[in-house]
Structure 1
Amino acid sequence: MSGSNTPPQYDLIVIGFGAAGLSAALSFAETTEGCETPTRIAVLERATKEERGGATRWTGAFLRITQDKRLDTDWAEHVGRVSGGLADTEYCRTVERETRQTLEFVEKHGVEIAFEDFPLPHTFDGGTPSMAPPASPRGGGASIVEHLGTALENDPRVDIRYETEALRLSTTENGVVDGVLVRTSDGQTQRLTGRAVVLACGGFEGNTEMLTRYVGDKACDLPLIAPGIANNRGDALRMALELGADTAGQFDGIHAEPVDRRTQKADSVLYGFSTGIFVNGRMQRFFDEGRDTWDNTFEHVGYEIWKNQEQEAYWIADAKTLAIPGIMNSLLSDVPPEQADSLEELAEKLGVDGESLEKTVAEFNAAVGPGEFDPTRLDGKSTVGATPQKSNWATPLDTAPFIGVPVTAAVCFTYGGIRTDLDGRVVTPSGTAIPGLYAAGEATGLFYHAYPPATSVLRSLIFGRLAAHHAAAQQTA
């Protein structure tokens, strides 16, 4: 508790330097520009300046938007369907409403939104499979970090404090959040006071203890998809719970992705798997690779590899996959797939049992049903009698060269987090807002059972802005 009458050091303290934190800090700076008394803003970042940006810095940052830069009209319903009605529909509608102006905000600061061809269909526009080029910032999330970060660096009202850990929120005698206790790089603690605090420091995927507590056993076997999320230690959740905040999202849920095991490159995701097959360490198929488009499937195969396949799997395909125009753009590793003229030779390169692989492939090939193979749509070309079946894109793996990639599952973010209202205010279980406290981005919970993708960076930017606008309105009223 604090009871000092000393004026606060800052008008806004933002914890986190990813999309949500940058959006909050910069939006607050713009909204309060020209005030009679200049505002002061602090942005706290656990990492060094060179490693700043959390998960945002490393992601390709797909954006689930149409060509006119509006959110996919099916997304809110999609979240509702996969969550079984548990997700906050009004939150999703807010994302839909705020998408276009939020993208205009980042574009104004130099972030270019590009639409680039992708070799396989997605459902980012109305829920219907489409080959329309998906959107992303040119340069990925790093472009957001650098452009918005530079704008903050150039604002004399902003203090950016690197290598600074947030330990505990402070409140007035009336329960109003008025600052944060931090630990700096020299190990010493310091109290920063502020009129409002925004928690924007990610989930708890970088904290093995919390992962194990919430997600369950074998959490320690989950590698991080990028180095920046090692700093996502659950600080926001821990500090908010200490003040009685409510939670949202599925706490044993994670967004896991299949990544290339041969590389340490961040975000080395295997998106373009639909036309091949997955086998586990025993060379057995375990997943319907064609049950839906890649965007509705890649998270589920990642989770399955971690949860039930001992973190070991192999993607196998042949020349028909290699012939798909631009297919290598869907394999984000910096190491090309292993390639061979026979399955036996491919197995040797992958370090797996060749006889078992050949047997599984022969059984799969024999189960392929009739129809025309068309990787640009759900072609209905399926297996007959195979377990698991392949619902689309089932074509025999019989044409050299054969290709393969050893994959494992990496954690990207956690589902469970803080509950907020539509202004980004942290709320208690009764729905009462905790005065002076906001949260945005992956620190806040939303998803249950599945993450309809390409919206994580987007919702982070949107609710960072909304939190800043509400905080500014409270202070300038």
Structure 2
Amino acid sequence: MIVVGAGSAGFAAAVAAARAGAHVCVLEKSGAVGGNAAFSHTGFRAAYDGPDAIAPFVADLAGYELPGYSVADYAADLDRFGVPPALRDALAGDSYAALEWLRELGVRFTFNRSLHGRFEPGLVLAADGLVAAWERIAAAHDVDVWVDAPVERVVVDEGVLVGGVFMRADAVIVCSGGFQADAARRRRHLGTAGGVVRGSRHDTGELLEALIEDGAARAGGWGEAVITPVDAASPPAEGGNRMNRYSYPYGITVDAAGRRFFDEGSGLLADTYAVVGRLVLERGGAWQVFDAAGTRLLKRYAYDFATPRRADTVAGLGIDGLEETVRAFNAACPDGPFDPTRPDGRATIGLDPPKSHWAVPLREPPFRAYAVTGGVTFTLGGLAVDDGARVLGEDGAPLPGVFASGDVIGLFHGGYPSGAGQTRNVVFSRRAAASATGRA
């Protein structure tokens, strides 16, 4: 069996297939393994019943609120992002079992980022050193991993072409990622080649495009991508998590003219961060502005790595129009309690755009402004698959011997629930391996 791509989805597929008795070779186009996971916090969104379900993964639950997140809760969150029902039920229903499987293989977990002991629903656990763990686990299962081996084409029901050489296989599991690192494809499908690439520079979409040319059906949001706010000084690719600028709910975001242009408090970070970067890109970049009170909440997201503008007055930040914007924003903020750990209902009054939660005036100096741009994480358009991770043709029938998992499958529309990507990788990689080894 051949697995294309040595990211987290590819490793999961390879190990699952090897455990089912297959001889597996992983082909990776770049010179290193890891894919996007090498630049990710690797948080996992999973359904769980409560503290007893989390206890096997971490050493100490003291001080944490773990009220549970049901399969129905997860499915409802996936519904908001247009996941087809059969795939929704597979992802939500298998999510906890996926984490148990990883733990049994030897993957270690830690708590995901929390604020005052409270987590965003379902997003409690993160893998610790996931890429290194996968390398170790794959070696223990005698999985062959070849780097610098770009697959040019999948030959349906036969194998793959690598460097003009044909490799026969009983099945091929494609885990080659999206096309976010290719500027021309971003421009063609997303309408913009701007911003930076948060993860791997090698996810350029050639194999995805070749499969579609050979009859695979499209699915997911082909004009969409997960684009998040990152530091404007980020490298063109592979900047990693230290470039994230996710504390926008605790301040305001303005464009070059000093004007707000979206609701920074529209919902939980997990539900909004994947689209905010697109809004920032459409404005040609932006500034995140905080006062001293907001700044005290920033260390949660690595702002210590940034170099902001600092001033004792709003005017001193040197952003045209900002004084007027802050004056109007402050006047629209209500009195009442502020709770940064959950949607608190503290909304602006008569302001357009509104701030639906966490609307606190910016009054306490010093003030800071962080320059941000959009960081493209992964594209949402990909291959159509069924709940067995079989790649579907344009007629809706599975392509013989071809399976897929990870960013290369089209699953989401308009964003995704944070942490669902890593869980998707394991769920559909295990299903792909089961389908592929059953066929073989």
- Name 2:77's counterpart in structure 1: 78
Q: d(CA) in 2 for partners of 1:369 and 1:422?
A: 48
Match of 1:420 among 376, 385, 393: 385
- Name 1:358's counterpart in structure 2: 323
Q: Give the counterpart letter for 2:114 in structure 1.
A: F
Does 2:145 align with 1:160?
yes
- Name 2:31's counterpart in structure 1: 48
Cα deviation for residue 339 of structure 1 reads 3.7
- Name 1:292's counterpart in structure 2: 267
Match of 1:256 among 198, 208, 227: 227
In structure 2, relative to structure 1, the CA distance for the partners of 1:154 and 1:450 (3 Å cut) is: closer
Cα deviation for residue 222 of structure 1 reads 2.7
Q: Is the Cα–Cα contact under 8 Å of residues 64 and 71 in structure 1 kept in the other structure?
A: no
Q: Is the Cα–Cα contact under 8 Å of residues 365 and 396 in structure 1 kept in the other structure?
A: yes
Q: Give the counterpart letter for 2:230 in structure 1.
A: V
- Name 1:317's counterpart in structure 2: 290
Does 2:160 align with 1:180?
yes
In structure 2, relative to structure 1, the CA distance for the partners of 1:57 and 1:110 (3 Å cut) is: same
Q: Is the Cα–Cα contact under 8 Å of residues 275 and 414 in structure 2 kept in the other structure?
A: no
Q: Is the Cα–Cα contact under 8 Å of residues 63 and 134 in structure 1 kept in the other structure?
A: yes
Q: Is the Cα–Cα contact under 8 Å of residues 201 and 235 in structure 1 kept in the other structure?
A: no
Q: d(CA) in 2 for partners of 1:381 and 1:102?
A: 37
SS of alignment partner, residue 434 of structure 1: strand
Does 2:177 align with 1:202?
yes
- Name 2:2's counterpart in structure 1: 13
> TM-score, normalised on structure 2?
0.89
Q: Deviations over 1:301-353 (max 9, x none)?
A: 2111112x12x1011111222344xx4123466236544333233x15xxx34
- Name 2:135's counterpart in structure 1: 149
Cα deviation for residue 24 of structure 1 reads 0.6
Q: Is the Cα–Cα contact under 8 Å of residues 122 and 294 in structure 1 kept in the other structure?
A: no
Q: d(CA) in 1 for partners of 2:202 and 2:81?
A: 29
Q: Deviations over 1:376-429 (max 9, x none)?
A: 232222222222111111111110122221111111111111011111111123
Matched ranges for 1:351-390 at <5 A? 352-353=319-320, 356-390=321-355
Q: Give the counterpart letter for 1:136 in structure 2.
A: A
- Name 1:29's counterpart in structure 2: 18
Q: Deviations over 1:406-455 (max 9, x none)?
A: 11111111111101111111112332111111011110001112322210
Does 2:194 align with 1:221?
yes
Q: d(CA) in 2 for partners of 1:71 and 1:60?
A: 23
Q: d(CA) in 2 for partners of 1:153 and 1:334?
A: 36
Q: Is the Cα–Cα contact under 8 Å of residues 245 and 428 in structure 1 kept in the other structure?
A: yes
Cα deviation for residue 122 of structure 1 reads 5.8
- Name 2:281's counterpart in structure 1: 306
Structure number, greater radius of gyration: 1
Q: Is the Cα–Cα contact under 8 Å of residues 263 and 334 in structure 1 kept in the other structure?
A: no
Cα deviation for residue 71 of structure 1 reads 6.4
- Name 1:57's counterpart in structure 2: 38
Q: Deviations over 1:453-477 (max 9, x none)?
A: 21001101111111112211222xx
Q: d(CA) in 2 for partners of 1:82 and 1:334?
A: 32
SS of alignment partner, residue 74 of structure 1: helix
- Name 2:301's counterpart in structure 1: 330
> TM-score, normalised on structure 1?
0.82
- Name 1:129's counterpart in structure 2: none
In structure 2, relative to structure 1, the CA distance for the partners of 1:153 and 1:338 (3 Å cut) is: farther
Match of 1:410 among 375, 381, 386: 375
Q: d(CA) in 1 for partners of 2:401 and 2:14?
A: 15
Q: d(CA) in 1 for partners of 2:382 and 2:395?
A: 17
Q: Is the Cα–Cα contact under 8 Å of residues 6 and 34 in structure 2 kept in the other structure?
A: yes
In structure 2, relative to structure 1, the CA distance for the partners of 1:72 and 1:122 (3 Å cut) is: farther
Q: d(CA) in 2 for partners of 1:40 and 1:300?
A: 41
Q: d(CA) in 2 for partners of 1:333 and 1:446?
A: 35
SS of alignment partner, residue 469 of structure 1: helix
Q: Deviations over 1:197-236 (max 9, x none)?
A: 01001011112222222112xx22131012x1x2112134
In structure 2, relative to structure 1, the CA distance for the partners of 1:82 and 1:16 (3 Å cut) is: closer
In structure 2, relative to structure 1, the CA distance for the partners of 1:225 and 1:13 (3 Å cut) is: same
Cα deviation for residue 239 of structure 1 reads 2.9
Aligned residues: 417
Q: Deviations over 1:106-140 (max 9, x none)?
A: 22233212224522866424xxxxxxx732112xx
- Name 1:471's counterpart in structure 2: 436
For structure 1, the residue ranges without an aligned partner over 5 or more in a row are 1-11, 33-38, 126-132, 172-176, 184-188
In structure 2, relative to structure 1, the CA distance for the partners of 1:421 and 1:231 (3 Å cut) is: same
Q: d(CA) in 2 for partners of 1:338 and 1:150?
A: 44
In structure 2, relative to structure 1, the CA distance for the partners of 1:360 and 1:72 (3 Å cut) is: farther
Cα deviation for residue 72 of structure 1 reads 5.6
In structure 2, relative to structure 1, the CA distance for the partners of 1:271 and 1:425 (3 Å cut) is: same
Matched ranges for 1:98-113 at <5 A? 98-113=94-109
Cα RMSD (Å) of the superposition? Answer: 2.1
SS of alignment partner, residue 231 of structure 1: coil
In structure 2, relative to structure 1, the CA distance for the partners of 1:377 and 1:398 (3 Å cut) is: same
Q: Is the Cα–Cα contact under 8 Å of residues 343 and 358 in structure 2 kept in the other structure?
A: yes
Q: d(CA) in 2 for partners of 1:405 and 1:276?
A: 11
Q: d(CA) in 2 for partners of 1:411 and 1:244?
A: 27
Cα deviation for residue 277 of structure 1 reads 0.3
For structure 2, the residue ranges without an aligned partner over 5 or more in a row are 55-68
Q: d(CA) in 1 for partners of 2:124 and 2:344?
A: 21
Q: Deviations over 1:56-105 (max 9, x none)?
A: 1111122223452576642222222343xxx3111111112222222122
SS of alignment partner, residue 43 of structure 2: coil
In structure 2, relative to structure 1, the CA distance for the partners of 1:306 and 1:24 (3 Å cut) is: same
SS of alignment partner, residue 427 of structure 2: helix
Q: Is the Cα–Cα contact under 8 Å of residues 426 and 439 in structure 1 kept in the other structure?
A: yes
